[in-house]
Structure 1
Amino acid sequence: MHQAVGRTQTLIDPLDPARAAALHATLDLPGATPGAGDKLAPFFHQIYFWDARAPGELGRDGHPKIGDFIPDLGLPRRMWAGGRLSFNAPVTLGEPAEKTTIVESVSEKLGRTGPLAFVTLRHEIRQRDTLCVTEHQDLVYREDPAPGATPPIAPQAADEAETQDVADFSPTLLFRYSALTFNGHRIHYDRDYCGKVEGYGGLVVHGPLLAQLLMLKAERELGALNSFSFRATAPLLDYEQATLCRNGTVLWVRGPDGRQCLVAEAG
């Protein structure tokens, strides 16, 4: 077992309703603006519990440097590979909540594109001594791409769906979502860094933003969520239009060329 397993970190947040209102506006959601006393929408907890670090504590990618809470496994590129959530009790806006993060597992292996490292974090959100949300966050770390390397072949998404919605993304939307989640990862706003360092053809749409849109779609169409799991399978870029699809409890994001960018299941 890696020595980092079991590390914990606790953050407390007052859950300012203005921040939820800002995300509601950023996503152009219908309905009343959220306010104090309202139930927090699923996955909106991503915009709270900021871990603000000084510039000297950041890595080259804009995230907090690895080697402190998250171990340094010698691989520079970080991606949010997926997650699993259990919604146990409502979270109320305008009341303090506590988020405890535990390093649950650390593993390394050799993949088709080189060495990979996997870190799973477990987040537990409590309010008034009640466990409200449990979230497992899967992170993957890998080497920088070799010059001229061919990107991995993405899986193809299903064509038929019971319901479909079109979604567009812009640098402004990505910037606002990064700001609200206090996510400094440069792949979402620094086009030069995206291309020259990490080998992407444009700004990368946040995997959690895609998951957020699918969660809201699932809640609209299926009712209140008890659980939700998702897995990123290919990047979506800012200039690409996506289709948000659902068949039963299975949801996915289809890129303009038919590739599957993210797949999820609601429970």
Structure 2
Amino acid sequence: MKSNLVLLVVLLIVCACSSSTDTATQTGTPTYTLIFIDKTRSVNVNKTFVAQKYQQAINDIVDQNIQQKGDQLDVYFIHENTSKARALNVTAQTEREDVSSASPTDREAAETEFGLLLGRERTRIKQQVLQQLMAQNSGASNQETDIWASLPVIQKANETGLSVKVYYLSDMIESVKGSDRRDFQKVPPRDNAQAEEWAKADAEKLKRYTIGSPTITMMLPFEPNASVRENNPAVTQYWQTLFAELGAGNVSED
């Protein structure tokens, strides 16, 4: 575990340094980024493949979405109490100087300074998110996976009026006890048709959450050669259908 963590930190620093000059060329509505990290027993971030995939994902997410002052990023843990499990909340403070009336030389200097400051801020944010990725959850909350509970979190982000982007670092195996809930560990959808049927039925119960039209990316912890039993495509189909029924603008799987 320690060697994996050291490797991740080294990779993080390298990636952060290489992307520090990757700055935005346009400004607009700030972005609200939500990262949901699975902290249940079915996802092991100490596995080399999972750790490297999720570490790279964090680097990419921060570089793509932290572009200007006001961009916000929250990290929530997925477990039995997902909606109350916010682990991190940061807002970008690096501001691009108004150089509309400056000389070309001064504009270039201002852009260079902005790039350096933004790169440093991104590095700090990456390190904070990585710490949450590697945090262990050995408590009783790791027994259930309540992904439905992420919906009120997305609704709250939508109410800010910002552009919302959602990332699930999870196997997406909903597993909650109760006759009105889904437990894909015990009873997964048998095929895409059943997955769509379940998702549409569940969407009717969940439409009380106004999530807007966020982009949603599911980043699964499965290796390319994982079996269908381990990486059930019908589970992915369920979530793609459910999120689309609730209004998501784009839903993808990575």
Larger radius of gyration: 2
Give the TM-score normalised by structure 2: 0.30
